[in-house]
Amino acid sequence: MASTPLSPPIRGFFSRHELLPTNTKISSIRQDFRRDCPRCGASVETLIHALKDCQAAQAILTLGGLDGRLLNKDYSYYIDWIEDVMCFLDKKVVADFITMLWDSWNNQNNYVFRGKEEEAGQNSLLDFQIHNLVNKPVLPISPTLKKWEKPPCRTVKINFDVIVFTNKTCFGVIVRDSNVFVLGGGGGFKAEDMTAEWTKLYAFEEGLKIARSLNIANAIFETNCASLVNRVKNRKEDITIIGYRIKKTFKTMEMFTIVAVKWANRSCNKVVDFMCKYAIINNCNLVFGMDYPREIHDFVIGDSIN
């Protein structure tokens, strides 16, 4: 069953504050830094690996009695894992779960800097083990799945997405009108490994280029990256480097009569997610008009009838 997603502000908090210095995070700043996990030797230490998939982290979560459905399922992003946890556990147990994650992260630091791990907090583990899920979970489980929605009349919707794979940053963009007709789009990649927010901004800029080439007046840009949406909305107060880049990008948006940047559930971005993967598999860059690639036809039709 599909879960009810976290609200955009909450997702934005988790995404925007990805500050834990995993080796992947550090290597995005220091090119000579190793990306492998210091505890288990996995090739890439991402945040989901450090907190869930690493053997040492798994041992702590197993000892704590975490539901196997939450422990054995594969996740690409840690925010998706957190959402599922909050759909199974009540408020008290979620608090214990977060404490357990903090203990696990401290253990990793002890291993890296002191050469040994300490026992995780036994009280939180005990509380976690005896939970019975009698109370309501933080987020309800819902059988419904969010679907792509067509834009208002005389407005187009521009969905965009990006993925990083083997040091390549791949984007996908598709433009559709209120009648769900495909007006254009594109997909491609650059041989560069960027941090999460910079990759989304890259895809956003590619979407702007395609929209400009189609002389679109009224547009809604849609992405599943809440942190980028929040940065665009708060660009006047953002004094970071990426904030400066967003301000420059936003000047390009003055070409539109009406324009908005909105958050959407990842399930609403299936077409462009596939286009990112298509660009990787075929090692190509492409821009198209109404005669879109037949490989995305089923996804386009699926969006139009749901």
Go through the domains of the chain in sequence order and give each one's CATH number.
Answer: 8-129 (no CATH), 156-305 (3.30.420.10)
Predicted confidence at residue 220, as pLDDT, reads: 92
For the segment 218-256, what is each residue's pLDDT rounded down to a tens digit? 999 998 877 788 778 877 777 888 888 888 887 777 788
Predicted confidence at residue 17, as pLDDT, reads: 45
Identify which of 70-74, 89-93, 129-133, 186-190 has the greatest average pLDDT. 186-190
Distances (CA, A) of 61 to 58, 100, 106: 5, 8, 14
Distances (CA, A) of 171 to 245, 280, 283: 18, 9, 12
CA distance 91 to 264: 26
Confidence of residue 158 (pLDDT cuts 50, 70, 90): very high
CA distance 278 to 284: 8
Identify which of 43-47, 197-201, 217-221 has the greatest average pLDDT. 217-221
Distances (CA, A) of 9 to 2, 226, 237, 292: 20, 7, 17, 34
Q: Quick one: average pLDDT of 30-40?
A: 76
Predicted confidence at residue 174, as pLDDT, reads: 92
Q: Quick one: average pLDDT of 258-287?
A: 83
Q: Quick one: average pLDDT of 107-116?
A: 75
pTM: 0.56
The two three-digit tokens of residue 255, written as one number: 């070409």
Is the pLDDT higher at 68 or at 83? 83
Give yes or no for residue 201 having a pLDDT over 60: yes
CA distance 23 to 283: 28
CA atoms within 13 A on the CB side of 111: 17
Is the pLDDT higher at 149 or at 55? 149
Q: Quick one: average pLDDT of 135-148?
A: 59
Q: Quick one: average pLDDT of 69-85?
A: 75
Mean pLDDT value across the chain: 75
